[in-house]
Amino acid sequence: MTAMSTVPWLTILGLIPLVGALVVAFVPGSAENAKRMAIGFSVVTLVVGIIAATQFDRASGKQFQLGEQHSWIPQFGVSYSLGVDGIALVLILMALVLTPICLLAAWHDVPEEAGPRGGQRVKTYFALILVLETFMVGVFAATDVFLFYVFFEAMLIPVYFLIGRFGGPRRQYAAMKFLLFSLAGGLIMLVAVIALYLQGPGGTDGFLIERLTGLSLDPTTERLLFVGFFFAFAVKAPMVPFHTWLPDAATESSPATATLLVGVLDKVGTFGMIRFCLQLFPEASTWATPVVVALAVLSVIYGALLAIGQTDMMRLVSYTSVSHFGFIVLGIFAFTTVGQGGSTLYMVNHGFSTAALFLFAAMLVRRRGSKRIPDFGGWQRITPALAGIFLVAGLSGLALPGLSSFVSEFLVLVGSFSTQPVATVIATSGIILAALYILLMYKKVMTGPKPEGLVGEREHDRLDERGRRGLTAVRDLTTREKLVAAPLIAAFVVLGFLPNLALNVINPAVDKTLSHVQQAVPNLNPAGTVAEGSSK
Amino acid sequence: MGTLVQTLASSSSTLSTYAAGLATHEGEAHAATGVTAYAWLLVALPLLGAAVLLLGGRRTDRFGPVLATALSWGAFVVGALVFLAMLGRGAEDRAVGINLFDWIAAGSFKVSAGLLVDQLSMVFVLLITFVGSLIHVYSIGYMEHDADKRRFFAYLNLFVAAMLLLVLANSYLLLYVGWEGVGLASYLLIGFWNYNPAYATAANKAFVANRVGDFGLSIAIIVMFFHFGAVDFATVLGAAGSNANQGFMTAIGLMLLLGACGKSAQFPLQSWLGDAMAGPTPVSALIHAATMVTAGVYLVVRSAPIFEAAPTAQLVVVIVGAITLLFGAIVGCAKDDIKKALAASTMSQIGYMMLAAGLGPVGYAFAIFHLLMHGFFKAGMFLGAGSVMHGMNDQVDMRRFGGLSGAMKITWATFAVGWLAILGVPPFSGFWSKDKIIEAAFIGEGWRPWVFGLAALLGAGITAFYMSRLFFMTFHGKKRWTDDVHPHESGKLMTVPMIVLAVGSAFLGLILGPTGLFTSWLEPVTGAEPEGAHPVIPVPVLMALTLVLVAAGGALAWLRYWRDEVPVTAPAGSLITQAARKDLYQDQVNEALLMRPGIHLTRSLVFADSKGVDGAAGGLAALVGGTSSRLRKLQNGFARSYALTMLAGVVAILGALWVMS
In whole angstroms, give the CA distance from residue A483 to residue A383.
17
First-to-final CA distance of chain A: 40
**Residue of chain B nearest A164, judged by CA positions:** B635
Task: Write the residue in A153, A338, A504 that is nearest to B109 by C-beta.
Answer: A338
Question: In angstroms, what separates the C-alpha of B115 from chain A's closest C-alpha?
Answer: 15
Residue type, A303: G
Query: Is A295 in contact with A251 (CB distance < 8 Å)?
Result: no
- The count of other CB atoms within 10 Å of the CB of residue A262 is 29
Residue A205 DSSP symbol:
T
Which residues partner with A65 through β-bridges? A84
- A61 found inside a domain: no
A453: phi > 0 → left, psi -120 to 50 → alpha, else beta; which?
left
Is A512 at the interface with chain B, CB within 8 A?
no
B81 contacts: CB under 8 Å, gap ≥ 6: B35
Query: Is A217 in contact with A199 (CB distance < 8 Å)?
Result: yes
Residue type, B341: A
- A415 found inside a domain: yes
Is A344 at the interface with chain B, CB within 8 A?
no
In whole angstroms, give the CA distance from residue A154 to residue A136.
10
Task: Tell which residue, B42, B303, B268, has the closest CA to residue B168.
Answer: B42
Burial class (CB within 10 angstroms; exposed 0-12, middle 13-18, buried 19+) of B121: buried
- A360 found inside a domain: yes
- A202 found inside a domain: no
- CB contact under 8 Å between B606 and A499, yes or no, is no
Range of A339's domain? Answer: 290-536
**Residue of chain B nearest A58, judged by CA positions:** B3
Query: Is A130 in contact with A42 (CB distance < 8 Å)?
Result: yes
The SS3 assignment for B175 reads helix
In whole angstroms, give the CA distance from residue B10 to residue B7.
5
> Residue A183: pLDDT band by 50, 70, 90 thresholds?
confident
Task: Tell which residue, A189, A162, A196, A173, has the closest CA to residue A269.
Answer: A189
Task: Tell which residue, B529, B525, B521, has the closest CA to residue B361.
Answer: B529
Which residues partner with B443 through β-bridges? B535
Number of domains composing chain A: 1
Chain A hits for B200, Cβ within 8 Å = 443, 447-448
Among residues 401-420 of chain A, which lie with CB inside 8 Å of chain B?
401-402, 406-407, 410-411, 413-415, 417-418
In whole angstroms, give the CA distance from residue B200 to residue B278.
9
* pLDDT in the model for residue B157: 96
* pLDDT in the model for residue B481: 86
> Residue A534: pLDDT band by 50, 70, 90 thresholds?
very low
What are the tens digits of pLDDT across the range B369-403?
A: 999 999 999 999 999 999 999 988 888 888 888 88
Chain B hits for A175, Cβ within 8 Å = 639
Residue A449 DSSP symbol:
S
A372-401 burial string, b = 16+ CB within 10 Å, else e? Answer: ebebbbbbbbbbbbbbbbbbbbbbbbbbbb
The SS3 assignment for A455 reads strand
What is the pairing mode between strands A65-73 and A78-84? antiparallel
Q: How many residues does chain B have?
A: 661
In whole angstroms, give the CA distance from residue B21 to residue B41.
23
A290 contacts: CB under 8 Å, gap ≥ 6: none
* CA atoms lying within 13 Å on the CB side of residue B272: 29
* CA atoms lying within 13 Å on the CB side of residue A322: 31
Chain B hits for A176, Cβ within 8 Å = 631, 634-635, 639
In whole angstroms, give the CA distance from residue A406 to residue B521.
36
* CA atoms lying within 13 Å on the CB side of residue B427: 11
What are the tens digits of pLDDT across the range A476-516?
A: 999 999 999 999 999 999 999 999 999 999 999 999 999 88
* pLDDT in the model for residue A74: 86
In whole angstroms, give the CA distance from residue B624 to residue B642.
14
What are the tens digits of pLDDT across the range A99-158?
A: 999 999 999 888 877 776 778 889 999 999 999 999 999 999 999 999 999 999 999 999
Among residues 197-216 of chain B, which lie with CB inside 8 Å of chain A?
197, 200-201, 203-204, 207-208, 211-212, 214-215
Mean local confidence (pLDDT), A397-424: 94
Chain A hits for B229, Cβ within 8 Å = 532-536
A247 contacts: CB under 8 Å, gap ≥ 6: A310, A314, A315, A318, A319
Radius of gyration of chain A (CA): 23
Residue type, A174: A
Query: Is A311 in contact with A285 (CB distance < 8 Å)?
Result: no
Q: Kindly provide the residue ranges of all beta strands, DSSP E only, lying in A330-489, ordered along the sequence.
A: 454-456, 472-474
CA distances from A16 to A12, A132, A160, B408, B624 (A): 6, 12, 22, 74, 37
What is the pairing mode between strands B30-31 and B96-106? parallel
> Three-class SS string for B228-256?
HCCCEHHHHHHHHHHCCCHHHHHHHHHHH
Task: Write the residue in B7, B203, B642 that is nearest to A501 by C-beta.
Answer: B7
* pLDDT in the model for residue B312: 93
In whole angstroms, give the CA distance from residue B162 to residue B184.
9
In whole angstroms, give the CA distance from residue A317 to residue A295.
20
Chain B hits for A239, Cβ within 8 Å = none
Task: Tell which residue, B458, B504, B501, has the closest CA to residue B351.
Answer: B458
Q: Which residue ranges in chain B fall short of pLDDT 50? A: 1-27, 626-641, 643, 661
- A205 found inside a domain: no
In whole angstroms, give the CA distance from residue B149 to residue B171.
34
Helix count (H) and strand count (E) of chain A? Answer: 24, 4
Question: In angstroms, what separates the C-alpha of A302 from chain B's closest C-alpha?
Answer: 8
* Structural element, H or E, at residue A82: strand A78-84
* pLDDT in the model for residue B618: 60
**Residue of chain B nearest A309, judged by CA positions:** B602
* Structural element, H or E, at residue B96: strand B96-106
Question: In angstroms, what separates the C-alpha of A36 from chain B's closest C-alpha?
Answer: 26
Which residues partner with A78 through β-bridges? A73
Among A439, A501, A510, A518, pick the best mutation site for testing chain B contact (most B Cβ within 10 A). A439
Question: In angstroms, what separates the C-alpha of B326 from chain A's closest C-alpha?
Answer: 28
* Structural element, H or E, at residue A53: helix A31-54
The SS3 assignment for B404 reads coil
Query: Is B443 in contact with B533 (CB distance < 8 Å)?
Result: yes
Task: Write the residue in A337, A381, A431 that is nearest to B107 by C-beta.
Answer: A337
Chain B hits for A338, Cβ within 8 Å = 106-109
Is B176 at the interface with chain A, CB within 8 A?
yes
- A510 found inside a domain: yes
- CB contact under 8 Å between A181 and B639, yes or no, is no
Burial class (CB within 10 angstroms; exposed 0-12, middle 13-18, buried 19+) of B544: exposed
B425-459 burial string, b = 16+ CB within 10 Å, else e? Answer: beebbbbbbbbbbbbbbbbbeeebbeebbebbbbb
Among B211, B237, B243, pick the best mutation site for testing chain A contact (most A Cβ within 10 A). B211
- A413 found inside a domain: yes
Chain B hits for A392, Cβ within 8 Å = none
Q: How many residues does chain A have?
A: 536
Asked if the interface predicted TM-score (ipTM) of this complex is over 0.85, the answer is: yes
Burial class (CB within 10 angstroms; exposed 0-12, middle 13-18, buried 19+) of B515: exposed
> In chain A, what is the greatest distance between 2 CA atoms, to the nearest angstrom?
82
* pLDDT in the model for residue B5: 42
In whole angstroms, give the CA distance from residue A286 to residue A532.
17
Chain A hits for B620, Cβ within 8 Å = 184
pLDDT at A169 over 70: yes
- Whether the bond into B268 is cis, omega within 30 of 0: yes
* Structural element, H or E, at residue B103: strand B96-106
What are the tens digits of pLDDT across the range A186-222?
A: 999 999 999 999 988 888 888 999 899 888 888 899 9
Task: Write the residue in B1, B222, B606 that is nearest to A414 by C-beta.
Answer: B222
Is B336 at the interface with chain A, CB within 8 A?
no
Chain A hits for B104, Cβ within 8 Å = 407, 411, 499-500, 503
In whole angstroms, give the CA distance from residue B82 to residue B39.
7
- A178 found inside a domain: no
